[in-house]
A = this chain, B = another copy of it.
Amino acid sequence: MVNKVYKSSAEAISDVKDGAVIMFGGFGLAGIPQNLIRALYKKGTRNITVISNNPGSRLGDNEYGLAPLFKEGRVRKFIGSYPAATKSFKELYDAGMVELELVPQGTLAERIRAKGSGIGGFYVKTGAGTLLAEGKETRAINGEQYILEYPLEADFAFVKAYKSDRCGNLVYRYTGANFNPLMAMAAAVTIAEAEEVVDAGELDPSTIHTPAIFVDRIVKGERYDRWYE
């Protein structure tokens, strides 16, 4: 029978090629697929397009999460809502070393969900009339200005769950969900790391956040850092 469970993060991401478009779950450091990110860093993949809320996170003098991928110049383009989260991104951006597509956070979530849900486009008021609406179609609906937004897609989604069963049903904890369930729906291949991998039937089927159909590969994360005391 089909086995979605991989032995290591490295094995789970082994076919990610240079130039890949990758969605990374997480907000700040909550719910980031830290083991998959580390494996990708070690693999040396280059020319990546990153779709993520922020390009890593700064705590004190250190930067975590996706930041090392940016610092090492592995990222061609960032699509997200909060690039100011790291100094490293600003330095690269100011030096013209990385491209930025800035997307309001709610629109980012909805564009990703749209791809996963077979929605061809949608209208939101968010950003109408601002710099971020430049080049976008507008439409008046019930007397208010909306802009047309299109789906965001990716070759891979790297997501992080609290628990996964062996079928790929995922549950998240606290604010660890954020973009993870949406990205899991939207990418051609979804790779989930989880703190625990349990047998089918161990999760209550009425409390699954991401049904197994959206998950292609599962790996038990090797190491979970805690950043706060």
Contact = CB atoms under 8 A, between A and B. Distances in A.
A119 B122 contact: yes
Q: How many copies does the complex hold?
A: 2
Interface stretch (A93-101, A171-179, A180-188): A171-179
A30 to B, nearest CB: 12
A23 to B, nearest CB: 19
A38 to B, nearest CB: 25
A77 interface: no
Main SS at interface, chain A: mixed
For chain A, which range describes its interface: under 10, 10 to 19, 20 to 34, or 35 or more residues?
Answer: 20 to 34
Contacts of A162: 206
A104 interface: no
26 contacts: A110-B117, A110-B119, A114-B122, A118-B125, A119-B122, A120-B122, A120-B123, A120-B124, A120-B125, A120-B139, A120-B141, A121-B122, A121-B123, A121-B139, A121-B141, A121-B146, A122-B122, A122-B123, A141-B150, A162-B206, A171-B206, A172-B206, A173-B206, A174-B206, A204-B207, A207-B207
